[in-house]
Each structure stands twice: as structure tokens, then as C-alpha cells.
Structure 1
Amino acid sequence: MSDYRSEVAALAMDGWLRQELGLPDVGISAEFDKAADSVKFDWGTVGPFADDFLPR
């Protein structure tokens, strides 16, 4: 799979876990930009790979 991006898989897993466990959405997303032929990441209210990912 030459187009595999581990970051995208991680964000998909994050979204699934939040939905299944009823955790709050922090706005993390990844969207494919066809014109740029790349993935645009939006880290929402947290930084990438932050340890403190649940709002207080």
C-alpha cells in the first residue's frame, strides 16, 4: 500500500474510540486535498501526539 499514512490511521482510530467510548470530540481530523495530492491535518484543540488529550 504505497498511499498508507500511519497518521491518518491513528486519527481514524482516535475517532472510532471516541465514538465507541463516548469520549468528547477534540476536533482532530485529516482530509485529503486532491489538488495538492496530500493529506491536511487539523489538530483541533490539542497538539499532535499530546499526552493530555482529554479536556479538563
Structure 2
Amino acid sequence: MKHSAASVMCFHNHPSGDASPSHQDITVTKRLKKAGDLLGIPLIDHIIIGHNSFTSLKQEGYF
């Protein structure tokens, strides 16, 4: 909002190397999606980066 974002993408890593989403990752993603919808700033994706892999929560159907 501060910088008039048209949309948002979130990224974070899992130091364990396992890019599988945790329960907390899924919960935060749903909250970000809901907040973005309310503000008119769509969440494009939430990507978890692991060791030589990544997971797209959008592609996995979490939102």
C-alpha cells in the first residue's frame, strides 16, 4: 500500500531444504490472500524455496 503495489508475490526459504509448505505457511498464505483481496492488491503467488527445489502454493491449490 505504501508504494502503491499493483500485486504481491511472497518468497521465503526453508533452511531444512524441504520446500513442502508447513501448516503455518498455508495459514499465512490464506491470510495474505484475504488481506490482498480486501485491499485490491492481489497475491500472485507464495513460493517456498528449498534445496534445489521450490513449491508454489498457488500451483498446489492452496489459494
Q: TM-score, normalised on structure 1?
A: 0.40
- Give 1 or 2: higher strand fraction: 2
Q: Which has the higher contact order (CA 8 A, sep 6+)?
A: 2
